[in-house]
Amino acid sequence: MPTYQAPVDEVTFILNDVLRIERFNNLPGFAEATPDVVEAILVEAGKFCTEVLAPLNRTGDEEGCTRHEDGRVTTPKGFREAYRQMVDGGWLGLAAPAEFGGQGLPGTLTVAVNEFLASANLAFSMYPGLVQGAVAALLAHGSDAAKKVYLPKLISGVWAGTMNLTEPHCGTDLGLLRTKAMPQPDGSYKITGTKIFISGGEQDLTENIIHLVLARIEGAPAGTKGISLFIVPKILPNADGSLGARNGVSCGSLEHKMGIKASATCVMNYDNATGFLIGEANRGLQAMFVMMNEARLAVGVQGLALSEVAYQNAVTYAKERRQGRALSGAKEPNQPADPIIVHPDVRRMLMTIKAFNEAARALALWTALKGDIAWRSPDEKERQAADDHMGLLTPVVKGVLTDIGFANTVMAQQVFGGHGYIAESGMEQFVRDARIPMIYEGANGIQALDLVGRKLPKDGGRALQTFFAEVQGFINEHKADEAMKPYVGPLNTALSHLQQATMWFMQNALAKPDHAGAGANDYMHLFGLVALGYMWCCIVKAAREKLKAGANGATERMNGKLVTARFFMERMLPETATHLARIQAGADSMMALGAEGF
Amino acid sequence: MPTYQAPVDEVTFILNDVLRIERFNNLPGFAEATPDVVEAILVEAGKFCTEVLAPLNRTGDEEGCTRHEDGRVTTPKGFREAYRQMVDGGWLGLAAPAEFGGQGLPGTLTVAVNEFLASANLAFSMYPGLVQGAVAALLAHGSDAAKKVYLPKLISGVWAGTMNLTEPHCGTDLGLLRTKAMPQPDGSYKITGTKIFISGGEQDLTENIIHLVLARIEGAPAGTKGISLFIVPKILPNADGSLGARNGVSCGSLEHKMGIKASATCVMNYDNATGFLIGEANRGLQAMFVMMNEARLAVGVQGLALSEVAYQNAVTYAKERRQGRALSGAKEPNQPADPIIVHPDVRRMLMTIKAFNEAARALALWTALKGDIAWRSPDEKERQAADDHMGLLTPVVKGVLTDIGFANTVMAQQVFGGHGYIAESGMEQFVRDARIPMIYEGANGIQALDLVGRKLPKDGGRALQTFFAEVQGFINEHKADEAMKPYVGPLNTALSHLQQATMWFMQNALAKPDHAGAGANDYMHLFGLVALGYMWCCIVKAAREKLKAGANGATERMNGKLVTARFFMERMLPETATHLARIQAGADSMMALGAEGF
């Protein structure tokens, strides 16, 4: 039976020592988030995850969700009670505005807590995750009246939310969508169509579900420019907020999936359902894009979350399981065999995951912090710079953290040998669950294309230049320091690979866009390695400062950061050279075959 | 619903044009394997796989195996009939000696057919696969009497076989095993103990099951030097071969696994079961090692097999699914969207899998051919060279083909977007099934250690030097040829990386064995890339010869080989540089942390 302990110390180290969030006390909500408050919240969240959510993870996977003949959906045993506890704990409204019942704390804190929830129980965490998405959409685009009706109910957790984009024939290419919205005399719309892959489309956790639905108003232009966003409540609220009539929306079936089996993935049928336009007509995709950075960051964090929980369980197993002897001679000669953590290849796997997790967490929190600045800073220039950063880094966080996060669950499973293939160990569930973040919220190929095709050239490459300048600035500042050389030296090489790759695109992809498409995945991963390498350099700097200052009982942990950073620089960062070589190979051999040649 | 077509043309191209097996007509069984006979066998095997086995793959996964209260195990619906058809078709005895009822054809042909079986239905294919293992063990170590009793029944498919190595507390480290064998006055033994992860330990496909069991004779030395191999029939045969008394062996439970759910993975309880020593006492591990090359090659082929079937289905989907437009402009402007095979990132995934599959198949068949030579050649020197090759390449084939094969099923699933996560597509089953070959028959970390720690230094590095000389010889022969330069040039670089890595081990690992352990996984993959790169060069050579000779209607396919080889050289082979860098980083940062630092 797998277990989970929230890495609270890791998060507070990143927030306080690496990102030094006390610098942002001028932002709304940040002054309240003192180190003590933050730690108390994280500890409490961790406790809830360890004690309530983690024990429901395997049972939820085994039982799955059930759709009844009348369209009702039942979540696995224990989910209702856990959801109630989460709602009662106020976890849904941590960063939501106080005027709608939230606590107004930094969104960065929500991202940290979301990692814990997803580690403990990814399938469960999707229900509150979608509520956060609906809240963000309403905050950004809802009318005052809509905000007043929906936000308090969503933030308090009494109602839940969903996102309805995909249809059977269109996922990535939303321009093809067919769900129709017929305008009604009272200003509302009648929505008709079928949506698929709707997480939490139906469930038994909340008394109402607020569906956000993309549809095409009758007569709207074809393609992406004719898509609007609608609120479609499962039960229509009366003017006083009480529940009124059942709306024409229902769950037609549940999907049988590889993983996240406790998350109800619904086919949703809209049959003349009453919907309310949110934002401008025909601007629904733009409205979705506003939320997309946050949603994609959240999905990236899911990749990290599964990597973390799989790592923790692999470490426990590697310390307990005894097979063979250390190559350097028996470590515990009185025992029949050494624990397998003595074997270099087991350490290779554990160190690889560890060196990813710690930097990936820093990267996610850094990006989340930029999100807070982009929304909350009073300084327009600061907001813009933060927004640039978020736009640029979001596809990297989503694509790289989910790709590597998945690979890490596979590696952690490998530590278990045959036992990892057995359901009882829980390791195979982590692998199955970790597979979906690579796909949903924009498959990772789309993230790569978003990065290369949209984010790089945006505003004349402003965001990218700023990122390069920051990383190069750090390198220049520390390159003369002998103690920093083993870290900034490799980072400098990796950064130059990224710059060469960027240059190659500039010189080749304008004339032949396929060159950009062919290199996009490698560019995203090259970018991710540079960003993670930069995080490691920042972590090393903070760890060394802490060590100099006495480290407060954390000497061993801080020394461990220096070792792990070395491992990252020596073993993981060198991949940038391969990515560069692939990018510079261009599209020719990739595109040469006719479809019949496959 | 996924489908499968056996790649018969690919196999015959490799056998006839790349490996030119007609050169080996002096070996027993090879003269009979004329191109026409081989093709007819492959076509027939492919038909059986497409029509009988592939349709049972998803249903078998859904239903799984059932253990009844009395210990009987039922395989999924359709398996019994399919097994019967396979037995009636004579597929089990393709390469087995004629004197025991086999057809005596080359083992290479069995490897080709095994790929088809595993593609169509990996779980099913394990039942006959284990029979092949038992046959190999008996041929190598059985007494004449034992051969006479067991081989005809196994080869005809009336009885099945299993391998019993693992116990709850020991898998990799068999020196720890505890199953006991008490000598009896009649020369037999009483076997008592528990074995786990026993594939086909119980089933309803055959009237009897012959278990090969590792156990420790009472009083034998501790560790690996006190292990013996026993035959333990489920039902004891009478002297005339008819079935006698039920033996004291039974299935205690079935494991719930991530995949291969239609393969019965049993906990086997031996309770004073009658067993017969096979081979010498206390030399059981050595007896197992003889079969291990073949078994590991077979598992490597499973990785290829799943990569192939996943690829085929991804190609079909990529040609049918329409989303978005080609970056270079709409390819089918009259349709609402282009098929996704126009997108570079989709092609990147398909080409990556294709470029692996075709070379991996060549590598597997080349190694299988060496196996045939090692067993059948009348020339001792030739036998030794082939045995060297097999020993060296087997861990590479097992480790690399299963690691990359699994990664490829993940990539093929990604082509499907969200639909690949749904069970109905069948893609997620390929991923789950492809995960086990990385683990069983020696986890891939063990393969890497076997390669670096045992196979490299063996006989003063004789096998490795011969391999280097062959690849270098090919490069030297063709490096002046302009048409071959794009292929042999990159191979030369990769080979030099492998040689540098070898040199690094020689200079560093003697003093500190952890350096070898730390680099073993990268070395195995570096070796694999060189071997695959060499295969591509051989394929290119054969394709160019075919093109020069007129190609016989295969011009387009042969030109496709040249393109795919280019893709491999440009996009996949460059990884050798990263592997080398990692190896040269050594063990220091990997081993520095204490166990408590994780």
Tens digits of per-residue pLDDT, B103-112?
A: 999 999 999 9
Tens digits of per-residue pLDDT, B139-175?
A: 999 999 999 999 999 999 999 999 999 999 999 999 9
Residue B551 or residue A152, greater confidence: A152
- What is the nearest CA distance from B136 to chain A, expressed in angstroms? 24
Is A12 a residue whose pLDDT tops 90?
yes
Letter for the amino acid at B271? D
- What is the nearest CA distance from A366 to chain B, expressed in angstroms? 24
pLDDT confidence of residue B397: 98
When pLDDT is averaged across residues B63-82 and rounded to a whole number, the result is: 98
β-sheet bridge partners, residue A199: A265
Count A/B contacts: CB-CB distance under 8 Å. 258
Rounded-to-integer distance, Cα B92 and Cα B45, Å: 11
Which residues of chain A are within 8 Å of residue B582 when distances are taken between CB atoms? 570-571, 574
Please report, rounded to a whole number, the percentage of residues in chain B having pLDDT higher than 90. 97
pLDDT confidence of residue B36: 97
Letter for the amino acid at B25? N
The token pair that represents B569 in the structure block: 């050289």
Tens digits of per-residue pLDDT, A533-557?
A: 999 999 999 999 999 999 778 999 9
Residue to test with chain A: of B177, B348, B526, most A Cβ within 10 A: B348
Rounded-to-integer distance, Cα B286 and Cα B224, Å: 10
Tens digits of per-residue pLDDT, A463-517?
A: 999 999 999 999 999 999 999 999 999 999 999 999 999 999 999 998 999 999 9
Strands (E), A165-306: 180-183, 189-199, 208-217, 228-233, 235-237, 243-246, 249-254, 265-278
β-sheet bridge partners, residue B246: B235
What are the Cα distances from residue B29, in Å, to A195, B44, B372? 59, 19, 10
Is B44 a residue whose pLDDT tops 90?
yes
Is B505 a residue whose pLDDT tops 80?
yes
Which residues of chain B are within 8 Å of residue A344 when distances are taken between CB atoms? 514, 517-518, 520, 587, 590-591
A337, A348, A575 member nearest B521 (Cβ): A348
Please report, rounded to a whole number, the percentage of residues in chain A having pLDDT higher than 70. 100
Of A243-252, A307-316, A558-567, B278-287, minimum mean pLDDT range: B278-287
A345, A435, A577 member nearest B421 (Cβ): A435
Of A10, A115, A202, A441, the active-site residue reads A441
Is B538 a residue whose pLDDT tops 90?
yes
Q: What is the biggest distance separating any 2 CA atoms in chain A, rounded to whole angstroms?
A: 84
Look up the pTM and report it.
Answer: 0.98
Tens digits of per-residue pLDDT, A341-398?
A: 999 999 999 999 999 999 999 999 999 999 999 999 999 999 999 999 999 999 999 9
3 state SS of A488:
helix
Which residues of chain A are within 8 Å of residue B350 when distances are taken between CB atoms? 598
Tens digits of per-residue pLDDT, A455-467?
A: 999 999 999 999 9
Which residues of chain B are within 8 Å of residue A566 when distances are taken between CB atoms? 588-589, 592
pLDDT confidence of residue B290: 73
**Residue B493: band (very low, low, confident or very high) from pLDDT cuts 50, 70, 90:** very high
Residue (of B245, B252, B179) closest to B212 by Cα position: B179
pLDDT confidence of residue B239: 83
Which residues of chain A are within 8 Å of residue B354 when distances are taken between CB atoms? 598
pLDDT confidence of residue A292: 83
Cβ <8 Å between B598 and A417: no
When pLDDT is averaged across residues A228-251 and rounded to a whole number, the result is: 95
Which residues of chain A are within 8 Å of residue B508 when distances are taken between CB atoms? none
**Residue B289: band (very low, low, confident or very high) from pLDDT cuts 50, 70, 90:** confident
pLDDT confidence of residue B314: 98
pLDDT confidence of residue A552: 78
Rounded-to-integer distance, Cα B235 and Cα B232, Å: 9
pLDDT confidence of residue A240: 84
Q: Inter-axis angle of helices B107-141 and B427-434, to 10 degrees?
A: 40
- Enumerate residues 6+ apart whose C-beta is below 8 A from B257: A421, A422, A423, A428, B265, B436
Of B63-67, B240-244, B457-461, B479-483, minimum mean pLDDT range: B240-244
A176, A337, A518 member nearest B348 (Cβ): A518
B336, B418, B516 member nearest A166 (Cβ): B418
Of B10, B115, B428, B441, the active-site residue reads B441
pLDDT confidence of residue A39: 98
pLDDT confidence of residue A29: 96
Please report, rounded to a whole number, the percentage of residues in chain B having pLDDT higher than 70. 100
- What is the nearest CA distance from B5 to chain A, expressed in angstroms? 13
A69 flagged as catalytic: no
Rounded-to-integer distance, Cα A199 and Cα A161, Å: 9
Tens digits of per-residue pLDDT, B2-25?
A: 999 999 999 999 999 999 999 999
The token pair that represents B120 in the structure block: 């169509």
When pLDDT is averaged across residues B468-480 and rounded to a whole number, the result is: 98
Secondary structure letter of residue B26 according to DSSP: T
β-sheet bridge partners, residue B217: B181
Rounded-to-integer distance, Cα A44 and Cα B214, Å: 51
pLDDT confidence of residue A366: 98
Cβ <8 Å between A590 and B571: yes
- Enumerate residues 6+ apart whose C-beta is below 8 A from A505: A452, A456, A515, A516, A519, A523, A583
- What is the nearest CA distance from A578 to chain B, expressed in angstroms? 6
pLDDT confidence of residue B552: 78
pLDDT confidence of residue B518: 98
Confirm if B230 and B213 have CB atoms less than 8 A apart: yes
pLDDT confidence of residue A100: 97
Rounded-to-integer distance, Cα A43 and Cα B294, Å: 53
